[in-house]
């Protein structure tokens, strides 16, 4: 059962352009998120000394704000 209004919207050139742009934008966001996430995992695996550097005189290391940045970037 096909609604004529729905079919008309689906075939409209502006709607098709919007879908193309949305899919392209979603693809870029996916690639960017994978780079950030797997980059952080690779940093954990290959350069633990970098992430273990303390920030200032406190006990917080550089890995904590970078990890929080990955979480915020995900949101």
Q: pLDDT tens digits, residue range 18-72?
A: 999 999 999 999 999 999 999 999 999 999 999 999 998 888 999 999 999 999 9
Q: pLDDT tens digits, residue range 7-22?
A: 898 889 999 999 999 9
H or E element in which residue 74 lies: helix 63-74
Long-range contacts of 31-37 (CB under 8 A, 24+ apart): 33/73, 33/74, 36/70, 36/73, 36/74, 37/70, 37/74
């Amino acid at each position: 059962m096909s609604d004529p209004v729905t079919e008309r919207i689906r075939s409209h050139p502006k709607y098709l352009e919007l879908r193309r742009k949305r899919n392209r934008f979603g693809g870029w966001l996916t690639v960017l998120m994978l780079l950030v996430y797997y980059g952080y995992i690779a940093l954990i695996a290959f350069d633990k000394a970098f992430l273990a550097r303390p920030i200032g005189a406190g006990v917080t290391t550089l890995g904590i704000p970078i990890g929080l940045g990955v979480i915020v970037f995900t949101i």
